[in-house]
Amino acid sequence: MADAELLIEEVSNYLKPQDVEQIRMAIEFSRAAHQGQIRHSGDPYVTHPIAVARILTPLHLDAQSIIAALLHDVVEDTEISTEQIAERFGNPVAVLVDGLSKLEHIHFETREDAQAENFRKMLLAMARDVRVILIKLADRLHNMRTLGVMRADKCERIARETMEIYAPIANRLGLNEIYLELQDLSFKYLHPKRYAVLVKALKVARGNRREVVNKVLEAIRQQLEKKQIHAEVTGREKNLYSIYKKMQSKSLAFSEVLDIYGFRVLVEDTPSCYLALGALHALYKPIPGKIKDYIAIPKSNGYQSLHSTLFGPFGTPIEIQIRTREMHKIADAGVASHWLYKNGHATVNELHQKTHQWMCELLESLNDSRSSAEFMEHLKVDLFPDAVYIFTPKGKILSLPRGATAVDFAYSVHTDIGDRCIAVKINHELVPLRSELRNGDRVEIITAPHAKPNPAWLSYVTTNKARSHIRHFLKTMQSGESAQLGERLLSQALHTLNIKLAEIKDTCWDKLLRDTGVKTRQEILADIGLGRRLNMVVARQLTCNAETVSHEPIANPVITIQGTEGMAVQFASCCHPIPGDPIIGVIKSGQGLIVHTHDCPIMRKGQHGQWLDVAWDKNITRTFTVNLKLLVANQRGVLAKVTAVIAEAESNIENVNFGNEREYTALHFTLEVNNRLHLAKIIRSLRAIPEVFRIIRVQSTS
């Protein structure tokens, strides 16, 4: 078999003879295991694992990786187990193969659930050993190369998954060649007609522009020789998908995309990079704003290079990349450059640390996902390739996805900084926390000891780390507050049975936990507070000894509302109850206790849930929002008079807007008040203004 011999020849160039012999044994093992199996193309199945192994040899991966690549489908598609592989080729190889095997023996409700769990398992294995994802990417690349024999719908599904997940992972790991080929192959099957048209156009352009390319190459070489800079200069064609993206984003025809060719300059050392840049800027004028220094500030995947776009001959823009040979190796191999460098190269070690940290953070945030859809959404967001580079006050550089906000930055520095942030200074100016960060911003987070995450942050954070920590905090806080409310509701239900909560025996609690399959009392109480369990049902389940239960009806005690219950108690936005209003409570599943006014229109329409008698606590110190509508004369200075009176009455205006009603102007205010007496005082003061004709408390915003 020619491919097998080519593989042996390739690994012989960098592996020891005993390792090569192990690989030869693995080829025979794989051939025997897949005996009789045929690919959709009609080729023997063993050609696939051999091709996958050959994709990895330019990266100089170790023998264990090559053997795992040869055996990656054996557990999934044959009767051979990971134990047999461990016995024959060692435990490390078996672990790699297991990380690559799908979860075939577990039933999932949907394809999305199965896909999410497969990715979760792969990412977990990847965090333990990055070689898992390198083999998986090689596997996906060969599958994409041979995808044409599949049904069109299956081709499109696999291509979309490759474009959205695997290509970005390759990019994130710095595997540039694999990344570009996965993009082009995905484009081929997602948009076959557009792909065919562009391939044809590029072939024609290649002939037409050959003279220009050769002229530029020769001019660059002569200029560098003149400046005594030793360099290797090559021309390169941009990949098809990047040309298509440029046409799409800038609404260009193919003939208008002038920079389909780029030029790469490889020099001896870092100072030579900058000397070469200066020399080329003297040869062709640079386009302002098109110079990027990825040497001083490397990309998150370890990529380093100088980029500059120049006005070439005939006004044609040409893109130049200047880097050292070491940088070039890392640019092509990324995290796999660990196997290319055997001398503990500093840049590679740093890259490995960053990659491992990224994978651990990604897993931590993905483990908090509540559904397969949320998991996949988070994974795609985290793999988004565009990045901005931000400076901390001490000059450290952090890489964040484009669109990241100050809150994302705070969590990227440290979880505690994120949880306690209250304000931010960007380039020494105070700005809102939702402000989007730009390349080169200097960001300083201001914290307070007792601050805590705001649920509103979830509407604008972009990073998984920030989103998962905010959700975790809110979930923990909601659980604690719901448990406190649940305890009060359970005490109320037990009171009707003439039992105090403290009298419930541990054996009764233990029996309830066993019967319900819940681990702790806290969870039971939180479920009651969130309306997932009825307090009366739990009360009866806890009364193990029926003799202690009184059969005489006892008045149901009223639950007092203190306003400090946090997320466990919500005040209905339809009627905005305030202390002093007659109120009623409704327990709704998953939302907890919602407080309405007695005459709330929504309540009159009928409300599903468990009704409770509630009353205001006498010692409430917090403020509540209330909506007022004022009909006033359309005269100069009226708004100033109204706002001054509200301020004198010690109320804060949260929002104000205007409208016209016949000959009057309608002012709509959202105010903060302490209670109904405070509101009455404000209304009396407003009525004293001659231009105010009518004041209405708006209790229904539906």
Token pair in block for residue 245: 């993206």
Structure confidence at residue 565 (pLDDT): 58
Q: Could you tell me which residues are beta bridge partners of residue 592? A: 588
What pLDDT digit, counting tens, does each position of 291-317 carry?
A: 888 888 887 777 889 999 888 877 777
Average pLDDT over residues 237-259: 78
Q: What is the pLDDT confidence band of residue 353, given thresholds at 50, 70 and 90? A: low
Burial degree of 87 (CB within 10 A; 0-12, 13-18, 19+):
exposed
Average pLDDT over residues 629-636: 88
Instruction: Look at the alpha carbons of 449, 455, 459, 462 in this order and tell me if their dihedral is positive or negative.
Output: positive
> What is residue 253's three-state secondary structure?
coil
CA distance 480 to 677: 32
Contacts of residue 301, defined as CB under 8 A and 6 or more positions apart, other chains included, come to 171, 172, 173, 174, 334, 335, 351, 355
What pLDDT digit, counting tens, does each position of 648-673 carry?
A: 998 888 888 888 877 788 899 989 89
Sequence ranges of the domains in the chain: 2-189, 196-340, 353-470, 499-616, 624-698
What pLDDT digit, counting tens, does each position of 388-404 carry?
A: 778 888 878 787 887 88
> Residue 426 gets which letter from DSSP?
E
Average pLDDT over residues 200-209: 76
Structure confidence at residue 621 (pLDDT): 78
CA distance 382 to 593: 36
pLDDT at 531 over 80: no
Closest CA to 86 of 56, 55, 134, 74: 74
User: Other C-beta atoms within 10 Å of 385: how many?
Assistant: 14
Listed range (17-21, 22-26, 383-387, 640-644) with the worst mean pLDDT: 383-387
pLDDT at 376 over 70: no
Contacts of residue 679, defined as CB under 8 A and 6 or more positions apart, other chains included, come to 578, 580, 626, 671, 673, 697
**Are the CB atoms for 183 and 167 separated by under 8 Å?**
yes
Q: Which CATH architecture has domain 624-698?
A: 2-Layer Sandwich (3.30)
Structure confidence at residue 121 (pLDDT): 66
What pLDDT digit, counting tens, does each position of 316-345 carry?
A: 778 899 999 888 887 777 666 655 555 555
pLDDT at 448 over 80: yes
Structure confidence at residue 589 (pLDDT): 63
What pLDDT digit, counting tens, does each position of 456-493 carry?
A: 888 888 887 888 888 777 777 767 777 777 787 788 77
pLDDT at 278 over 90: yes
Average pLDDT over residues 694-699: 87
Token pair in block for residue 682: 């404000």
pLDDT at 697 over 60: yes
Token pair in block for residue 582: 């007659």
**Are the CB atoms for 375 and 464 separated by under 8 Å?**
no
Structure confidence at residue 406 (pLDDT): 92
Residue 233, H or E segment:
strand 231-237
Q: What is the pLDDT confidence band of residue 149, given thresholds at 50, 70 and 90? A: confident
Cα within 13 Å of Cα(601), Cβ side: 8
pLDDT at 114 over 90: no
pLDDT at 202 over 70: yes
Contacts of residue 537, defined as CB under 8 A and 6 or more positions apart, other chains included, come to none
Question: Strand 443-447 and strand 583-588: pairing?
Answer: unpaired
Between 163 and 368, where is the model more confident? 163
pLDDT at 178 over 60: yes
Average pLDDT over residues 570-576: 81
Helix axes 535-542, 521-529, angle to 10 degrees: 150
Closest CA to 160 of 315, 380, 447, 12: 380
pLDDT at 275 over 90: yes
Structure confidence at residue 234 (pLDDT): 87
Active-site hit among 21, 76, 599, 654: 76
Structure confidence at residue 296 (pLDDT): 86
Average pLDDT over residues 219-226: 91
> What is residue 464's three-state secondary structure?
helix
Q: What is the pLDDT confidence band of residue 585, given thresholds at 50, 70 and 90? A: confident
Structure confidence at residue 322 (pLDDT): 94
Between 64 and 491, where is the model more confident? 64
Token pair in block for residue 59: 């990266």
Q: In which residue are the tokens 């007022």 written? A: 628
Fold category of 2-189 in CATH: Hypothetical protein af1432 (1.10.3210)
Structure confidence at residue 107 (pLDDT): 46
Average pLDDT over residues 566-576: 74
Between 284 and 503, where is the model more confident? 284
Q: Kindly state the percentage of the chain with pLDDT values over 90.
A: 18
pLDDT at 622 over 90: no
Q: What is the pLDDT confidence band of residue 106, given thresholds at 50, 70 and 90? A: very low
**Are the CB atoms for 98 and 75 separated by under 8 Å?**
yes
User: Which residue blocks in 129-175 are alpha helix, DSSP H?
Assistant: 131-145, 152-161, 167-172
* Mean pLDDT computed over every residue of the chain: 80
Q: What is the pLDDT confidence band of residue 347, given thresholds at 50, 70 and 90? A: low
pLDDT at 232 over 70: yes
pLDDT at 552 over 60: no
Structure confidence at residue 105 (pLDDT): 44
pLDDT at 609 over 70: no
Q: Which long-range contacts link 120-125 to residues 24+ away (Cβ below 8 Å)?
A: 120/366, 120/367, 120/375, 123/359, 123/362, 123/363, 123/366, 123/379, 124/99, 124/363, 125/95, 125/96, 125/98, 125/99, 125/100
Structure confidence at residue 350 (pLDDT): 63
Tell me the one-letter amino acid at 82: T
Structure confidence at residue 695 (pLDDT): 92
Instruction: Examine the residue annotation and report whether 77 is marked as an active-site residue of this protein.
Output: yes
pTM greater than 0.85 (yes/no): no
Domain 353-470 CATH (choose: 3.40.50.2300, 3.40.50.1400, 2.120.10.30, 3.10.20.30): 3.10.20.30
Q: What is the pLDDT confidence band of residue 608, given thresholds at 50, 70 and 90? A: low
Q: In which residue are the tokens 């009298």 written? A: 503
CA distance 596 to 360: 45
Active-site hit among 3, 19, 62, 77: 77
Structure confidence at residue 118 (pLDDT): 67
Range picked from 263-267, 610-614, 634-638 for highest mean pLDDT: 263-267
CA distance 595 to 577: 7
User: Other C-beta atoms within 10 Å of 158: how many?
Assistant: 19
Fold category of 196-340 in CATH: Beta Polymerase; domain 2 (3.30.460)
pLDDT at 419 over 50: yes
> What is residue 349's three-state secondary structure?
helix
User: Which residue blocks in 632-695 are alpha helix, DSSP H?
Assistant: 638-648, 676-687
Structure confidence at residue 115 (pLDDT): 66
Listed range (208-222, 470-484, 597-611, 632-646) with the worst mean pLDDT: 597-611
Structure confidence at residue 530 (pLDDT): 67
What pLDDT digit, counting tens, does each position of 66-105 carry?
A: 999 999 888 887 888 888 899 899 998 988 888 777 544 4
Residue 657, H or E segment:
strand 652-661
